[in-house]
Chains A and B, each alone.
Chain A
Amino acid sequence: MTDVGAAFMAAIGLIAGLDAPLIEIVALSLQISLSAVAIACILGLPLGAAVTLGRFRFRHSAIVTLNALMGLPPVVVGLFVYLMLSRAGPLGALGLLFTPPAMIIAQAILITPIIAALSRQIIEDAWIEYEEQLRSLGAPPRRAVWTLIWDTRFSLVTVVLAGFGRAAAEVGAVIIVGGNIDGVTRVMTTAIALETSKGDLPLALGLGIILMALVLAANAAAYTLKEAAQRRFG
């Protein structure tokens, strides 16, 4: 059997076995990435809207910067967070290094620019449509921001998914700040990296297949929901 075939068999075996450590790893991956997405949305959506509505001097630079930050290398983010959270770093006293919260922080930093930059484009399109109406109704800028975010919520689902996909798929940052500790900070991607380094390539790829299936399922669910909601709310 080919390696890829063996990988599929491994993936099927893992899923069929409903291995407890596997479930733990999947659950931790979801917990971390979803928390990171939540934080990134809380920060990124208003940021994206603020850049849209803002009439400040460095607006163009802000847009360019946001777009560029979408390509933040995970390993750089990981290093940065590592140095911040290390006992020898400024936030060392928190004792967060090699814990799930450190991984959430790293992923949130990684995807906040993605959420902000992509939502800015969507919110900007909505603003073109809404601007006169909202100004006529006397909506102050901050209220307008929330209105735009709420009214583009179905399109923003796609943005959130993009953030989730990136968070769930990255390994460079979480392996540095999490340490890939068995049962504590081991997530799908770091487990894949570990199995690769052990030379168990079919198992590594099998885990990868499960990861992709999860992301695919999340996308399918969100897309279905979005379509249904859009039909319902126009």
Chain B
Amino acid sequence: MSLARRALLALLPFAALALAMPAAAEDKFIVVSSTTSTQDSGLFGHILPLFKAKTGIEVRVVAQGTGQALDTGRRGDADVVFVHDKVAEEKFVAEGFGIDRREVMYNDFVLIGPKFDTAKVMGSKDIAASLKKIADAKAPFASRGDKSGTHAAELRLWKIAGLDIATAKGPWYRETGQGMGPTLNIAAAMNAYLIADRGTWLSFKNRADLVVVVEGDQRLFNQYGVMLVNPAKHPHVKQERGMAFINWLTSPEGQRDIANYKINGEQLFFPNYRRAGS
């Protein structure tokens, strides 16, 4: 076989790749690494088309746990990070990986459990006492265990309840290491308690015997923050378009559109952006 033909054959794979490229070549998009809760709850499906209609910018959402989403930003694989773990977000910014962090909206976490309520916590307004009861009863509890925002919140709540979950956990405490949805599926299958964000819960369909058992405690507050990946660290970050998205989310218009997203008439996220100094 001639050299030219061999060279051609060697190039073929790249030619095939090139054919698949046009999808990637169109540049008017940004990558947002975000959480499963914002995606699975359907919020993005509601607001992104509105944003695109206004600016022409396509937002490509990679939905991960908060820890992983921040990591994606840290590696420079996203332009914007939109997550819900204030402590981790502030660390991310302090390390220089993110800039211009803004608080966008909140919703709340809820304690989900089987409707026959083995640990007898139904209706309580005290999440700390409820968790304590679950631990005492050794009632099955499903933890995300994936360093997500919800996982971080859950660990914080155990601490508030006065338990060191690392030592207190037994066979009743099960770490799924998966996203909110899979963890809900697992909890539904074994009638376990778990902490979930309300957005995902409301849009979740495979509930079996699970119901909300505890809600409304101040400490179940769930703040979402957005920030730009630092272009000084990652020069390829699409600063202008990324900021356009962040500005829109925190604009009166964006805030209104977030508030307008409802499932069965129930509002899922509550916009709470306040200008610097909030």
Contact = CB atoms under 8 A, between A and B. Distances in A.
A35 interface: yes
B75 A86 contact: yes
Contact of B75 (A87, A93, A96): A87
Interface residues of B, number: 39
A165 interface: no
Given A199-B205, A199-B207, A38 B76 contact: no
Contacts of A39: 12-13, 16-17
A181 B60 contact: yes
A197 B40 contact: yes
Given A181-B61, A197-B40, A197-B179, A97 B20 contact: no
Contacts of A142: 1
Given A42-B12, A181-B60, A199 B206 contact: yes
Given A42-B13, A198-B181, A199-B185, A98 B77 contact: yes
A31 interface: yes
With a 10 A CB-CB cut-off, give which of A96, A97, A142, A180 has the most chain B CB atoms: A97
Contacts of B61: 181-182
Contacts of A181: 31, 60-62
Given A196-B185, A198-B203, A87 B40 contact: no
Contacts of B31: 98, 179, 181
A105 B24 CA distance: 14
Interface in B168-208: 178-182, 184-185, 188, 203-207
Given A96-B24, A200-B206, 6 more contacts: A35-B16, A88-B76, A98-B60, A98-B77, A182-B61, A197-B179
Interface of A: 31-32, 35, 38-39, 42-43, 86-89, 92-93, 95-101, 104-105, 108, 142-143, 146, 179-182, 184, 194, 196-201
